[in-house]
Structure 1
Amino acid sequence: MDTAHVGDIVGALGSIGQHDTLEGRSRRQRFRMLLAIIGPGLIVMVGDNDAGGVATYAQAGQNYGMALVWTLVLLIPVLYVNQEMVVRLGAVAGVGHARLIFDRFGKFWGAFSVGDLFVVNALTIVTEFIGVSMALNYFGLPKAISVPLAAVLLFAMVAGGSFRRWERFLFGLIALNIIMFPLAFLVHPRIATIGHGFIPSFPGGLNSTLLLLIVSIVGTTVAPWQLFFQQSNIVDKRITPRWIKFERIDLWVGIVVVMIGAVAIMAAATFGLAGTAAAGNFTDAGAVAQALHDHMGTTVGALFAILLLDASLIGANAVGLATTYALGDTLGKRHSLHWKISEAPMFYAGYAALLAVAAAVSFSPDHVLGLLTQGVQALAGVLLPSATVFLVLLCNDKAVLGPWVNTVKQNIVAGIIVWSLVLLSLSLTATVFFPDTSTRTLEIGFGAGALVGVLGGAGMLVAWQRGKRREAERTAKEFGNLDPDQVEELDSTPLTRAERKAILDADRDTWRTPALDTLARPQFSTPRTVGMFALRGYLLLAVILVGVKIAQSIGG
């Protein structure tokens, strides 16, 4: 572990000693400890509503009204399950997500995973600078000034060598999200229309354009960079297993904020542009701000532009840090906000270089940048199954997580999520290849895919039970006189459920991953290896097809 990752928890809203516990603490003291923990979950979720998120939600509202609100509801369990797994990995292992992938799966798979991250993150930061330029252009500031100014500000936010100062700065930006309430109120939303949007529907039919937008909503709401950022940020904040319960609360706070923000942005575009020529004709977030200004007045347009600027700065900071955290994990260099520039030059140089390149690319032609914003979100959605597969494998690695490994229920939920994302990606691929595919055909495809998922899951569950049985048989042979059924009885008795839970909780609070270089690397079975290569090959094809779809849009 990096030495900066060990010590007292020093957060924006308080501190906790390295050896402090909850024993003997009053409710007020526990609440103050919770405030000290809050940060990684809230920041990663609010950072999720970045420039691309604002543009994607605004596009959904402007082109389809509130008809796609249901997609956000379905993404809540995806958000929590994915991010809760990295909470455990960060607190227990004490190292970043990229480091774990390289150490447990080797350089080959590590390069695939981190390579995806670097490419998508670099493009994502470009979209953040696009958001900055659009927002400040609304107030009359040209791109030649706004983009370099934002890049300097973003670097200054992290370069002080103080984790607490950085987190307080982010909390200040997050507080600005309060403007989403007056923004949504001033466009005079109709509650009945919003409520109807929670019922799943496909306005205009399930075609490639709508599917691309749905995949974009998935990609901007549950992005791969979030996994890398939150795990590394938990490590950087020095959160240990005894504080995982508080970090889960932090995560739920962030999920509530991000969902309210997404609905508010959809509502602003839906009701603020209803009945205008702009309705159904989304181009970019800057045009939405101007259209709101023209139709609803200066205040509404300015609030939307400020929200876009705030989202862009938070997103660029979080995505940039996710990338440089992963770079430090990959190269084995210091990577912590506790270090000053002179103490971790590679960390800060990588962050600065990433900002500089993204800022330069943001000066590309406007029509290309507008489509790039949606394309990046779609790419994130397409690549998410791969990132989630590695996450699930790590959370089933007993050598890494010990008593914190996934339960059977957690694996079932994670499996459903991964397969659902794969089916969504497959449907997008099918509509790009065959643009005339009907909604009925896609519905049949989803039904068939769901059936395959159920049968495959049942097969995996049977295989797991057989493996558990074989393990019991091996244990029985070691004891000599016991049969496998007696071994299983010993595992379940004589302790009561409460007693077993108390022992497990005590073990969890103090259990940490041993030094990674002392652990034997898990071996992939032949079916798992074939499945991984098949998934990677398909995702490569899907990425190419997303690029084709964007190129078609650019070419009209």
Structure 2
Amino acid sequence: MSENKNIQAAVLDSAHIGDIRGAFGTIRHNDTAKRTGWFARLRTLLAIIGPGLIVMVGDNDAGAFSTYGQTGQNYGTALLWTLAMLIPVLYVSQEMVLRLGAITGVGHARLILERFGKFWGAFSAIDLLLLNALTIVTEFIGISLGMEFLGVPKVMGVLLSAVFIMAAASTGDFRRFERVSMLLVIGSLILVPILVMVHPPMSQVAHDFVTPQMPAGAKLTDVMLLIIGIVGTTVAPWQLFFQQSYVIDKRITPRFIKYGRADLLLGIVLVIVGAVAMISFTAQIFAGHPEFGNFQDAGAICAGFAKYYGRLPGVLFAIALIDASIIGAMAVSLSTAYALGDVLSLKHSLHRKPTDAPGFYAMYCGLIAVAAALVLIPGVPLGLLTNAVQTLAGVLLPSAVVFLLILCNDKEVLGPWVNTRTTNVMAAVIVAALVVLSVILTASVAFPDISSETIVGILIGGGLISLICAIVVNVLRAREAADRGGDEQSDRQISQKALYEFRMAPLAKLKPMTLSSGNKLWMSILRIYLLVAMGMVIYSVIHAI
């Protein structure tokens, strides 16, 4: 299907068709020339850069500052290796949504609705809305903590930030929004000079980054829950919905997927560098001091800087916290507005002015306004809201990744761009691991006194079951491919031109999804998991009452 025949493609908003107008360059809609030479490729990359960088840096938000700060202050650099293990998880999951966005032209929530039915579509959209609303509250908590250290009154700081976040996305100019976002991405690099000022022993940092270990003398239950927290704050459900929709809104087509992958890799480098820096300099600040092992919040880290290393690094850390919280709030709010706009068939594009897409901007600005108001209302249980974010993320993430894996094997959706067998194996292992970790996280919320032995039992038992399921799913998929008369790779033997021009057909023209044996198994696992997880959450709520 040709990119030039857009009426045949499943584009839900006409504003998603046209020139790519990125922060650092433009690619004309009819530009199909082959890029030869490093300069031409660099110019193309600069025009495409954005989705991967924003989604990754946006994930190093207020929640990440808290989680990484707690890791360094309580356990030093002993858990840095968890970040190295998350690199392939980040790439595999986000590369799949990059492909879905560029090829389908349809957001993640709408694809789930159309291919899995109204129940799963509504479940995904409502769960995402609740989770994102709570996540944005944590962003404003981060903003208030940073502003407080800088001496800015809480009310003024939160209100000014809310106005800035709403204004940045409401100009009707996609390029302007992306340029603001890229300035915030560059601002995240403030963490690097802070690392230089504190100068932790880099040989130890490098060793702990590649050497799995457990902190000496630490309670296994606490360490495991923190590791799960690191996973949850580094791989968040909103990222899947945001990047797919942002790729669509930026008008990236299959021809430029390889540049999108490079953009994603750059984003992963930045997010890992930032996470390593936070854990490392926080460990150095509090090592040998009374505060070590007694994490409070990101504001206390600012105070620790001022106490042991001078006010300048503390000010820089506060600025970095505010910067991260703002870009996080922007991305999370956009992911919600995009998803609901997709599901409700509303105009939903940053290329449109607020008067042309009132529902889209009302959802975006409404989430920001509600979150800012909650942070400013005295007596609101902000700690409870923060815990709710972790719980809901634990419930939503595995289900979102299961849908993602099935969609990326749906030939009606991706055609020749479906997952390779290697990607499927990696994705299956990732899904299985996330389910096990999410069960532990949800269980810890429902049963606060859960023992180390129980956690180890869940890990071992769940790990074995997950490994078996992953093997079974891939064996079934291989057999089904053989029954169709060929290996999956035979479907990829098409010309590069045809590959680049392939786009998903309009949703109404797609054949209904027929779940394979492997996909039926994944859906069964998902249903069982959700029953268990939701049961534990309900128990926790009743017990708290």
The TM-score with structure 2 as length reference comes to 0.91
Corresponding residue to 2:214 among 202, 205, 211: 202
Tell me how far apart the structure 1 counterparts of residues 275 and 522 of structure 2 sit (CA, whole Å).
Answer: 37
Tell me how far apart the structure 1 counterparts of residues 502 and 528 of structure 2 sit (CA, whole Å).
Answer: 36
Partner of 1:514: 505
In 2, are the aligned partners of 1:41 and 1:251 still within 8 Å (CA)? yes
In 2, are the aligned partners of 1:181 and 1:264 still within 8 Å (CA)? yes
Q: Secondary structure at the match of 1:362?
A: helix
Tell me how far apart the structure 2 counterparts of residues 417 and 529 of structure 1 sit (CA, whole Å).
Answer: 15
Partner of 1:484: none
Tell me how far apart the structure 2 counterparts of residues 300 and 546 of structure 1 sit (CA, whole Å).
Answer: 40
Q: Structure 2 vs 1, CA of residues 504 and 392 (structure 1 numbering), >3 Å: closer, same or farther?
A: farther
| Structure 1 residues 332-351: aligned runs within 5 Å | 332-351=345-364
Paired-residue identity, %:
50
Q: Structure 2 vs 1, CA of residues 528 and 270 (structure 1 numbering), >3 Å: closer, same or farther?
A: closer
Tell me how far apart the structure 2 counterparts of residues 215 and 182 of structure 1 sit (CA, whole Å).
Answer: 29
Partner of 1:21: 32
Corresponding residue to 1:447 among 444, 460, 481: 460
In 2, are the aligned partners of 1:154 and 1:313 still within 8 Å (CA)? yes
Higher mean alpha-carbon deviation, 442-451 vs 141-150, is at: 442-451
| Structure 1 residues 226-375: aligned runs within 5 Å | 226-364=239-377, 368-370=381-383, 372-373=385-386, 375=388
One-letter code of the match for 1:539? Answer: A
Corresponding residue to 1:437 among 445, 451, 459: 451
Q: Deviations over 1:56-87 (max 9, x none)?
A: 11111111111111111111111000000000
In 2, are the aligned partners of 1:223 and 1:381 still within 8 Å (CA)? no
One-letter code of the match for 2:305? Answer: L
Partner of 2:411: 398
**Deviation of 1:375 (Å):** 4.7
One-letter code of the match for 2:148? Answer: N
Tell me how far apart the structure 1 counterparts of residues 16 and 302 of structure 2 sit (CA, whole Å).
Answer: 42
| Structure 1 residues 403-482: aligned runs within 5 Å | 403-429=416-442, 433=447, 435=449, 437-438=451-452, 442-443=455-456, 445-472=458-485
Q: Secondary structure at the match of 2:252?
A: coil
Q: Structure 2 vs 1, CA of residues 64 and 182 (structure 1 numbering), >3 Å: closer, same or farther?
A: same
Q: Secondary structure at the match of 2:376?
A: coil
One-letter code of the match for 1:405? Answer: V
In 1, are the aligned partners of 2:473 and 2:521 still within 8 Å (CA)? no
**Deviation of 1:143 (Å):** 1.2
Q: Structure 2 vs 1, CA of residues 328 and 341 (structure 1 numbering), >3 Å: closer, same or farther?
A: same
Partner of 2:181: 170
Q: Deviations over 1:469-503 (max 9, x none)?
A: 4333xxxxxxxxxxxxxxx49x989xxxxxx9773
Larger Rg: 1
Q: Structure 2: give runs of 5+ residues left out of the alignment.
A: 1-10
Tell me how far apart the structure 2 counterparts of residues 163 and 87 of structure 1 sit (CA, whole Å).
Answer: 18
Partner of 1:497: none
In 2, are the aligned partners of 1:229 and 1:321 still within 8 Å (CA)? yes
One-letter code of the match for 1:251? Answer: L
Q: Deviations over 1:318-342 (max 9, x none)?
A: 0010010111011110010000111
Q: Structure 1: give runs of 5+ residues left out of the alignment.
A: 473-487, 494-499
One-letter code of the match for 2:273? Answer: I
The answer to whether structure 1 residue 114 and structure 2 residue 125 are counterparts is: yes
Q: Structure 2 vs 1, CA of residues 528 and 419 (structure 1 numbering), >3 Å: closer, same or farther?
A: closer
Tell me how far apart the structure 2 counterparts of residues 492 and 329 of structure 1 sit (CA, whole Å).
Answer: 32
Partner of 2:224: 211
Q: Secondary structure at the match of 2:31?
A: coil
Q: Secondary structure at the match of 2:117?
A: helix
Higher mean alpha-carbon deviation, 292-301 vs 315-324, is at: 292-301
Tell me how far apart the structure 2 counterparts of residues 527 and 257 of structure 1 sit (CA, whole Å).
Answer: 36
In 2, are the aligned partners of 1:67 and 1:196 still within 8 Å (CA)? no
The answer to whether structure 1 residue 541 and structure 2 residue 532 are counterparts is: no
Partner of 2:7: none
Tell me how far apart the structure 2 counterparts of residues 185 and 523 of structure 1 sit (CA, whole Å).
Answer: 55
Q: 4+ runs of 1 displaced by more than 6 Å?
A: 545-549
Tell me how far apart the structure 1 counterparts of residues 403 and 369 of structure 2 sit (CA, whole Å).
Answer: 30
Corresponding residue to 1:68 among 72, 75, 79: 79
One-letter code of the match for 1:202? Answer: M
Tell me how far apart the structure 2 counterparts of residues 434 and 368 of structure 1 sit (CA, whole Å).
Answer: 19
RMSD: 2.4
Q: Deviations over 1:357-413 (max 9, x none)?
A: 111111256894246435524542443111100101110110010000111111111
Query: How many residues were matched structurally?
Result: 528
Q: Structure 2 vs 1, CA of residues 509 and 189 (structure 1 numbering), >3 Å: closer, same or farther?
A: same
Q: Secondary structure at the match of 2:21?
A: strand
Tell me how far apart the structure 2 counterparts of residues 47 and 365 of structure 1 sit (CA, whole Å).
Answer: 28
The answer to whether structure 1 residue 91 and structure 2 residue 102 are counterparts is: yes
Partner of 2:8: none
Partner of 1:482: none
Tell me how far apart the structure 2 counterparts of residues 223 and 548 of structure 1 sit (CA, whole Å).
Answer: 27
Tell me how far apart the structure 2 counterparts of residues 547 and 206 of structure 1 sit (CA, whole Å).
Answer: 26
One-letter code of the match for 1:435? Answer: D
In 2, are the aligned partners of 1:161 and 1:340 still within 8 Å (CA)? yes
Higher mean alpha-carbon deviation, 134-143 vs 331-340, is at: 134-143
One-letter code of the match for 1:409? Answer: T
Q: Secondary structure at the match of 2:59?
A: coil
In 1, are the aligned partners of 2:394 and 2:439 still within 8 Å (CA)? no
Higher mean alpha-carbon deviation, 282-291 vs 10-19, is at: 282-291
Q: Structure 2 vs 1, CA of residues 378 and 521 (structure 1 numbering), >3 Å: closer, same or farther?
A: same
Partner of 1:225: 238
Q: Secondary structure at the match of 2:137?
A: helix
| Structure 1 residues 29-44: aligned runs within 5 Å | 29-44=40-55
The TM-score with structure 1 as length reference comes to 0.89
In 2, are the aligned partners of 1:117 and 1:225 still within 8 Å (CA)? yes
Partner of 1:476: none
Q: Secondary structure at the match of 2:83?
A: helix
Q: Deviations over 1:430-489 (max 9, x none)?
A: 5564836235x64454333333233223322332233234333xxxxxxxxxxxxxxx49
Q: Structure 2 vs 1, CA of residues 507 and 184 (structure 1 numbering), >3 Å: closer, same or farther?
A: same
One-letter code of the match for 1:96? Answer: G
Partner of 1:475: none
Tell me how far apart the structure 2 counterparts of residues 542 and 352 of structure 1 sit (CA, whole Å).
Answer: 33
The answer to whether structure 1 residue 505 and structure 2 residue 499 are counterparts is: no
In 2, are the aligned partners of 1:49 and 1:262 still within 8 Å (CA)? yes
